[in-house]
Structure 1
Amino acid sequence: MPVSSAPEEHLRLQNIGVSFGNVNVIPSLDLSVRKGEMVAFLGPSGCGKTTTLRIIAGLNTPSRGHIVVGGRDITRLPIHDRDIGMVFQSYALFPHMNVSRNVQFGLQMRNVSGREAEERAGRALEMVQLSHLAHRKPKELSGGQQQRVALARALVIQPSILLLDEPLSNLDAKLRDEMRVQIRALQQESGITAVFVTHDQVEALSMCDRVVVMRNGHVEQFGTPTEVYERPATAFVANFVGRTNKLKGKIGSDGVLSAAGQQLHSATTVAPGAVEVLVRPHRIHLQGQAGDTREADNKVKGTVSGLTFVGDLVQYGVRVGDDEIVVEEATRRERRPVGVGDSVVLGWSAEDTLVYPGGGQ
């Protein structure tokens, strides 16, 4: 089968299918990654994202389809001939080697040795700001330092593509935030094409140029972080990426949307029938608060059933008929206190009213 690569794309997955025995893990996957961009594969456990990464790396073989990198079909090439660098979740550093030797390992496997290997490893360690730890063993490093060594080892071979398999999952929250910034900066500085696998939506949205949201081996949506968050293609994407309130509703033959016991307005056009209405908590506001002049296309009366103070946010639970709606608002000193049992009016825009057919995912 002839294969081709469009001028702007660097990685192409063409009709990739994966079966393990009788289980069809990935029915058919088609997508392309542009040169120099960072793309995240995001989704719940078992959705096929890690399997896809392993296929690109050569750790698994697809049942059908082609993997094209820079116009070259690498589908049947062995791992060492694919020109791919990989950062594993466990870092996979050699405990008996110091940092410098760990970084040089990939070069030695490519018959680069001696002074050149040392110089390239030194430059890679400078890039991740670990030159001063070149002679330490992995056990003498923190988790974040080990992560940067693994990153340097992957980058030092100057691969065509960098693959990252949930590399931040073993780090604490603060260190994850720092490493997100560092990895993204290094990727942009080097201009390398990178594919990042994660189940953490914050990592995907904050680090990558585009996001692939997967479910049961299928691509639900492939777009920029803004597109995926603001214009989710399916109810699954809207529910998985970010927090949402879910309301059962319907659209009548006259095109009128009703949910939460009343008529609502939405910018989404959906055929008549049962629907699911999704509204993000931070897009809803309590009307009538001090300094709040926002207009609302949708206004719903309810009763505060609970509240949680989260420092910069207050989360309200509001009972609206049979529905419980969560509202997130920034804390303000001048705001009138709202307590459990208070009657309130919730407001939000038609643009923020996401409607999907079927009343479910």
Structure 2
Amino acid sequence: MMLERNMTASPSRTAKVAEDHLVLSEVGMTFGTADVIPSLSLAVRRGEMVAFLGPSGCGKTTTLRMIAGLIAPSRGRISVGWRDITRLPVHERDMGLVFQSYALFPHMTVSQNVAFGLEMRGIAKREIRVRVETALEMVQLGHLSDRKPRALSGGQQQRVALARALVVEPSILLLDEPLSNLDAKLRDEMRVQIRSLQQQSGITAVFVTHDQVEALSMCDRIVVMRGGHIEQFGTPGEIYEHPATPFVASFVGRTNRLSGVVEPSGRLAAAGQGLLAEGALPVGQVQIMMRPHRVALLAAHEHVPPGHNALRGRLTGITFVGDLIQANVRVGEDEITVEQPTRRSTALPLMGAEVTVSWEAGDTMVFAGGAT
């Protein structure tokens, strides 16, 4: 049994307004003399989960806090549906918040923690009991309703925090790096569970993280931020396969980077060797990037299929990382990393051996030399 929000759209609203649930219009934040977020505009669709992804200090948490009402924007407008919430206090925004620290009351039981928001809203005790039971079953914690937070594991505490946010049936769920305090195995489990709950409930969710795996695996679309600006906003596939800038390419996924040149004739070259790429290329000095797991390590004179690039180099390092082997190959002044699955029967070249690295033309990403 899932909690569902009973929403009826205003008949005067257009389909487009109904689709765009959370809208930020030229929202900015200034601290002192510093424009932390100069101007940010985006629309989150109803029922989708959007990640704000970026390094520390990029503005993602500040943006979430403005959406939540924890801080007021210096300029711009924030709306949910057709309602302007820019200056509304937190308790009038109809949002559920899940924090990194969980923020559970240590003196209350699990059920009391989950019920707290409903009690503050003056909900009848009988309804509170039913909704709390439903929320705890939803996160598979009904059998632990009488425990205190200190008697729970980190993953269980996180699920209590999630149930507490969902039980009030918010219009939007905000999650601020909720998995960063969990170990790797628990993070994997909670990623699946949070995404499943969000999809089943149909709630609109905004997820702040600096972890690319969380963003790629959990969200419908990703906002990649850098220095208070949006570098790119798109689906995980668009972000990963067609990054708009070198920063996006290197932050979302691992990449190799080569210095190259595109001649006026359109020929692409690096380390004195010609390369293949798809699409229009910027003439002049360029940055060439490709994903390590899409690069093959071949013997020096091994055949390369048509439509594939090939660069000759020298093997300089091999690292065993469990499910992968990383091989480093020096090509001219640059180094290329090759990632391939570990197989007991795979024989690798000797250190210092001449080798060829190869990848498909479609996996070549080319950016203007001065792009960042």
Decide: shared fold, TM above 0.5.
yes
The answer (yes or no) to whether the contact 1:251–1:275 under 8 Å persists in 2 is yes
Paired with 2:271 and 2:174, the residues of 1 have a C-alpha distance of 45
Shift of 1:271: 2.3
- Residue 245 (structure 1) aligned with residue 256 (structure 2): yes
Structure-1 residue corresponding to 2:199? 188
Query: Which amino acid in structure 2 is aligned with residue 206 of structure 1?
Result: S
Q: How big is each residue's C-alpha offset from its partner over 1:79-111, in whole Å with a ceiling of 9 and x where there is no partner?
A: 101000000010000111110010001111111
Paired with 1:142 and 1:239, the residues of 2 have a C-alpha distance of 35
Paired with 1:216 and 1:303, the residues of 2 have a C-alpha distance of 38
Which of 331, 335, 348 does residue 359 from structure 2 map onto? 348
Paired with 2:32 and 2:218, the residues of 1 have a C-alpha distance of 35
Structure-1 residue corresponding to 2:148? 137
Q: How big is each residue's C-alpha offset from its partner over 1:119-164, in whole Å with a ceiling of 9 and x where there is no partner?
A: 1111100000000110111111000000000000000000000000
TM normalised by structure 2 equals 0.93
C-alpha change, 1:292 and 1:54, in structure 2 (3 Å) is: farther
Paired with 2:320 and 2:261, the residues of 1 have a C-alpha distance of 34
Paired with 1:337 and 1:12, the residues of 2 have a C-alpha distance of 53
Paired with 2:326 and 2:361, the residues of 1 have a C-alpha distance of 22
Structure-2 residue corresponding to 1:99? 110
The answer (yes or no) to whether the contact 1:248–1:359 under 8 Å persists in 2 is no
SS of residue in 1 equivalent to 2:97: strand
SS of residue in 1 equivalent to 2:363: coil
Structure-2 residue corresponding to 1:108? 119
SS of residue in 1 equivalent to 2:47: coil
Q: Which moved more, 1:4-13 or 1:155-164?
A: 4-13
Paired with 1:331 and 1:101, the residues of 2 have a C-alpha distance of 49
Paired with 1:294 and 1:93, the residues of 2 have a C-alpha distance of 58
Structure-1 residue corresponding to 2:169? 158
Which of 225, 231, 234 does residue 242 from structure 2 map onto? 231
Structure-2 residue corresponding to 1:327? 338
TM normalised by structure 1 equals 0.95
Unaligned 5+ segments in structure 2 are 1-12
Shift of 1:260: 2.6
Query: Which amino acid in structure 2 is aligned with residue 153 of structure 1?
Result: R
Unaligned 5+ segments in structure 1 are none
The answer (yes or no) to whether the contact 1:308–1:314 under 8 Å persists in 2 is yes
Matches within 5 A, 1:49-60: 49-60=60-71
Paired with 1:338 and 1:135, the residues of 2 have a C-alpha distance of 60
The answer (yes or no) to whether the contact 1:297–1:348 under 8 Å persists in 2 is yes
Which of 50, 58, 62 does residue 73 from structure 2 map onto? 62
Shift of 1:332: 2.9
Paired with 2:276 and 2:210, the residues of 1 have a C-alpha distance of 33
Paired with 1:134 and 1:328, the residues of 2 have a C-alpha distance of 46
Shift of 1:296: 4.8
Shift of 1:255: 1.7
Paired with 1:339 and 1:137, the residues of 2 have a C-alpha distance of 58
Residue identity over aligned pairs, in percent, reads 65
- Residue 220 (structure 1) aligned with residue 231 (structure 2): yes
Aligned alpha-carbon RMSD (Å): 1.8
Shift of 1:261: 2.6
C-alpha change, 1:194 and 1:292, in structure 2 (3 Å) is: farther
SS of residue in 2 equivalent to 1:351: helix
Paired with 2:329 and 2:307, the residues of 1 have a C-alpha distance of 17
Shift of 1:286: 1.7
SS of residue in 1 equivalent to 2:64: helix
Paired with 1:217 and 1:230, the residues of 2 have a C-alpha distance of 23
Paired with 1:200 and 1:88, the residues of 2 have a C-alpha distance of 16
SS of residue in 1 equivalent to 2:362: coil
Structure-1 residue corresponding to 2:137? 126
Query: Which amino acid in structure 1 is aligned with residue 140 of structure 2?
Result: Q
Which of 255, 277, 281 does residue 270 from structure 1 map onto? 281
Q: Paired residues, what number?
A: 358
Query: Which amino acid in structure 2 is aligned with residue 168 of structure 1?
Result: L
Shift of 1:33: 0.6
Dislocated runs of 4+, deviation >4 Å: 291-296
SS of residue in 1 equivalent to 2:355: strand
Query: Which amino acid in structure 2 is aligned with residue 210 of structure 1?
Result: R
Query: Which amino acid in structure 1 is aligned with residue 62 of structure 2?
Result: T
Structure-1 residue corresponding to 2:7? none
C-alpha change, 1:326 and 1:359, in structure 2 (3 Å) is: farther
Q: How big is each residue's C-alpha offset from its partner over 1:185-232, in whole Å with a ceiling of 9 and x where there is no partner?
A: 000111100000000000000000000000001101000001000000
Shift of 1:294: 5.5
C-alpha change, 1:147 and 1:90, in structure 2 (3 Å) is: same
SS of residue in 2 equivalent to 1:6: helix
